[in-house]
């Protein structure tokens, strides 16, 4: 009877009913050691070791950059805006020149937009400079010519997004805001072994992962260490994993997947051909200002425009000059061809020497006759700036020839 009752039970006896084997002291020590050793994949047990190794590496290997020698919120703000989409080596001379011209928020707010764009000339992404100028004026109109120390106030300024706000608040004010730029995204994706491309969806995941390892103190150093690691070691191609201070915590390295994480984004580059006329009146040249909105807003250029499909270069220039200046021109020789790459465009610019047949009626773009020597006061996009340098070199050769001849 007893056996039949056991066999007819609805479920087998639970293993929890059996007495457990008592833990020995050596086993407890092994478990304690296992909990604290470094593990790959940003697991909770590896956080302390990862942070310690990362900060130690940063203090011994970081680049000596001018913005790292200050805690001035204004200077850090300027550097972080300049560093967006631009390498540190390219930023250094612009940063130093900028601070000579606009040493503080008040000086920036009192400058003209043309002065600001001229200081930015050649750095690209000119909307960044316009946003800096607008933000400075916004703050100084409130009689507060300082960078806000509250996230909601800082992110409300023109051109300030989550990354800029987090970088400034953590580095300048020591507040606990983790940054998430391209370098940090790549580092975290490899550490956690997350496949895919950069996207809003992955950003939510990455932000959660980085918050889990973000230190309660010295958040600015941690942010800069993560960015520096991505710039110097955890590069998009050929990462130097053998030199990485957090190699033991990296799941991508453990799996041999560091070369395929993250998935590179395929970008198509649109090819555009433009034609411009270098129109001269005595010793002055005709230039015009681009609209206040859109690509290269507020910069100056030589009149012209995009070549349409099926048009010859000269036909395109005739059409553009009639539309922009309501004037007839005689198109002469081609002066030079300039190629310049933007993020999504590859522009080929053809510059022609032109002579006015009828006087232009200025309708848009603020056309202006300007002496060549005065052009250094005007901000030009890279293509037009190369035309200006060509004209200056030509003028210089003529002057030398006149003096020696």
Is 22 within a domain?
Answer: no
235 shares a domain with 98? yes
Question: Which tens digits make up the pLDDT trace of 367-379?
Answer: 889 999 999 999 9
Task: Name 274's Cβ contacts closer than 8 Å, sequence gap at least 6.
Answer: 304, 305, 306, 307, 347, 348, 349, 350, 383
Q: What is the pLDDT of residues 176-204, one digit of tens each?
A: 999 999 999 999 999 999 999 888 888 99
For residue 81, the domain's CATH number is 1.10.340.30
Q: Is the CB of residue 130 less than 8 Å from the CB of residue 136?
A: no
Do 307 and 212 share a structural domain? no
Average pLDDT along the chain = 86
Q: Hey, what are 334's tokens? A: 């081609």
Q: How far apart are CA 295 and CA 290, in angstroms?
A: 9
Catalytic residue among 37, 53, 64, 80: 80
Please answer whether residues 189 and 197 qualify as being in contact, where contact means their C-beta atoms are separated by less than 8 angstroms: no
User: How does pLDDT run across 272-330, given as a tens digit for each residue?
Assistant: 999 999 999 889 999 999 988 888 889 999 999 999 999 999 999 999 998 888 778 89
Confirm whether 41 is domain-assigned. no
297 lies in a domain?
yes
Examine the residue annotation and report whether 392 is marked as an active-site residue of this protein. no
Q: Which pLDDT score, from 0 to 100, does residue 22 have?
A: 46
> 120 and 220 in one domain?
yes
Condensed to tens digits (0 to 9), the pLDDT of residues 168-183 reads: 999 999 999 999 999 9
Total domain count, the chain: 2
Domain hosting 353: range is: 270-404
Q: Residue 385 maps to which CATH number?
A: 3.90.79.10
Q: Which SS3 state, helix, strand or coil, does residue 62 take?
A: coil
**Distance, CA of 341 to CA of 121 (rounded, Å):** 15
Lowest mean pLDDT among 75-79, 151-155, 198-202, 248-252: 198-202
Average pLDDT over residues 230-237: 96
pLDDT at 363: 57
Inform me whether the pLDDT recorded for 232 exceeds 60.
yes
pTM: 0.81
What is the predicted pLDDT for the residue at 273?
A: 94
The pLDDT of residue 7 is above 60: no
Query: Cβ distance 345 to 272 under 8 Å?
Result: yes
Give the residue-averaged pLDDT of 144-160: 94
Banded model confidence at residue 10, pLDDT cuts 50, 70, 90: very low
Better-scored residue on pLDDT, 218 or 74: 74
pLDDT in tens, 17-58: 334 444 445 444 444 444 333 455 665 445 788 899 999 999
Query: Tell me, what's the pLDDT at 41?
Result: 61
Same domain, 325 and 181: no
Do 326 and 196 share a domain, yes or no? no
């Amino acid at each position: 009877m007893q056996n039949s009752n056991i066999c007819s039970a609805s479920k087998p006896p639970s293993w929890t009913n059996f007495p457990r084997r008592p833990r020995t002291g050596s086993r407890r020590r092994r478990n304690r050691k296992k909990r604290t050793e470094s593990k790959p994949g940003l697991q909770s047990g590896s956080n302390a070791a990862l942070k310690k190794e990362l900060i130690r590496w940063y203090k011994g290997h970081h680049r000596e950059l001018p913005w790292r020698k200050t805690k001035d919120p204004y200077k850090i703000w300027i550097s972080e805006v300049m560093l967006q989409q631009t390498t540190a080596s390219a930023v250094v001379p612009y940063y130093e020149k900028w601070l000579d011209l606009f040493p503080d928020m008040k000086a920036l707010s009192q400058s003209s937009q043309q002065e600001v764009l001229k200081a930015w000339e050649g750095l690209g992404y000119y909307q960044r400079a316009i946003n800096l100028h607008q933000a400075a004026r916004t703050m100084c109109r409130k009689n507060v010519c300082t960078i806000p120390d509250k996230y909601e106030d800082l992110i409300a300024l023109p051109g300030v997004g989550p990354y800029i706000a987090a970088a400034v608040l953590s580095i300048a004010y020591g507040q606990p805001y983790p940054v998430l730029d391209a370098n940090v995204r790549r580092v975290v994706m490899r550490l956690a072994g997350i496949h895919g491309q950069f996207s809003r969806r992955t950003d939510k995941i990455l932000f959660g992962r980085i918050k889990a390892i973000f230190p309660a103190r010295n958040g600015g150093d941690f942010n800069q260490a993560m960015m520096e690691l991505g710039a110097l070691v955890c590069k998009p191609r050929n990462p130097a994993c053998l030199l990485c201070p957090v190699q033991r915590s990296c799941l991508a390295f453990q799996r041999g997947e560091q070369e395929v994480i993250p998935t590179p984004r395929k970008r198509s580059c649109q090819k555009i051909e433009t034609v411009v006329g270098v129109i001269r009146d005595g010793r002055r040249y005709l230039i015009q200002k681009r609209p206040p909105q859109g690509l290269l807003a507020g910069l100056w250029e030589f009149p012209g425009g995009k070549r349409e499909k099926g048009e010859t270069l000269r036909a395109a220039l005739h059409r553009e000059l009639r539309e922009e200046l309501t004037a007839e021109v005689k198109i002469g020789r081609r002066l030079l061809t300039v190629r310049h790459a933007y993020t999504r465009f590859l522009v080929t610019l053809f510059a022609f020497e032109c002579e006015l047949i009828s006087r232009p009626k200025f309708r848009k773009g603020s056309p202006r006759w300007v002496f060549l020597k005065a052009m250094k006061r005007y901000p030009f996009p890279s293509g037009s700036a190369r035309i200006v340098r060509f004209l200056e070199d030509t003028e210089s050769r003529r002057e030398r020839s006149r003096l020696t001849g």
